[in-house]
């Protein structure tokens, strides 16, 4: 069952989200931390794939 | 989802997630010992222990954390794709689980070598260093997941915003 929106300043614990009641017709801007998160994730995946393809890690070719 | 089931699922999720982090910390301690020790018996025991705890503790805890996380998000009003922090945790969980499986195969290779022959400090040096590095990186990644869970940074996704608009009508 959906819970009603709560005051953003209240601590909702894990029972449900603390959400801001929409006051416009446009979607909210993406927070900056989200851009930082996805940048790190993409860099991490690129490093992983690069290491894998160049044979510098992640495989039995490193034995010995 | 009933409150009782929600609490049970949350308990399982917190326990498995924090247990995952703690067991990786133990794994890292073993990896460092295996990498730096000159005691052949200690090195052998270390990699055998890492193989066992990896497959029997870390991988199951990761799986339980992932499944209970899905239950928590889909069974409550948080949803799976409504909030950026939930999506971020999902991505972390999927990537960490995938890398864990790759990582454990390498660990098993080293454990098999350690079980069958003497390993000097230079034997399999690259792989052993990589295993320790992976464990250190995993701790950082899992800590980020814990921080996201605790702070729950605000931010609706476009999907979450649309759902909120629909629910508000």
Residues in chain A whose Cβ is within 8 Å of chain B? 2-3, 5, 8, 14-22, 27-28, 30-31, 33-34, 37, 41, 44-45, 48, 57-58, 60, 62-64
Tokens found for residue A23:
């006051």
Contacts of A54 in chain B (CB under 8 A): none
Q: Does the reported pTM lie above 0.90?
A: no
ipTM: 0.76
Tens place of pLDDT per residue across chain B (169 aa): 888 989 999 999 999 999 999 999 999 999 999 999 989 899 999 999 999 999 999 999 999 999 999 999 999 889 999 999 999 999 999 999 998 998 899 999 999 999 998 887 778 878 888 899 989 999 999 999 999 999 999 899 999 999 888 887 6
Contacts of A64 in chain B (CB under 8 A): 123-124
DSSP-assigned states of every residue in B28-92: HHHHHHHHH---HHHHHHHHHHHHHHIIIIIHHHHHHHHHHHHHHHHTSTT-SSSBHHHHHHHHH
Q: Which residues contact B49 (CB under 8 A, 6 or more apart)?
A: B30
């Amino acid at each position: 069952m959906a819970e009603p929106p709560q005051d953003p300043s209240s601590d909702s614990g894990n029972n449900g989200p603390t959400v801001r009641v929409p006051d416009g017709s446009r979607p909210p801007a993406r927070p900056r931390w989200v851009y930082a998160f996805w940048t790190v994730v993409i860099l991490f995946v690129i490093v992983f794939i690069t290491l894998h393809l160049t044979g510098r890690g992640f495989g039995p070719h490193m034995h010995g | 989802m009933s409150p009782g089931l929600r609490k049970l699922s949350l308990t399982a999720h917190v326990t498995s997630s924090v247990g995952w982090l703690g067991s990786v910390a133990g794994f890292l301690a073993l990896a460092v010992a295996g990498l730096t020790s000159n005691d052949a018996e200690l090195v052998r025991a270390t990699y055998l222990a890492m193989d066992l705890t990896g497959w029997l503790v870390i991988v199951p805890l990761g799986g339980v954390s992932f499944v209970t996380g899905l239950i928590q998000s889909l069974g409550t009003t948080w949803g799976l794709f409504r909030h950026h922090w939930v999506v971020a945790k999902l991505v972390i969980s999927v990537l960490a689980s995938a890398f864990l499986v790759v990582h454990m195969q390498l660990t098993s290779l080293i454990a098999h070598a350690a079980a069958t022959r003497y390993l000097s400090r230079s034997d399999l040096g690259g792989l052993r260093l990589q295993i320790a590095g992976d464990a250190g990186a995993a701790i950082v990644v899992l800590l980020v997941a814990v921080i996201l869970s605790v702070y729950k940074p605000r931010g609706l996704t476009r999907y979450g915003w649309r759902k909120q608009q629909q629910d508000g009508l």
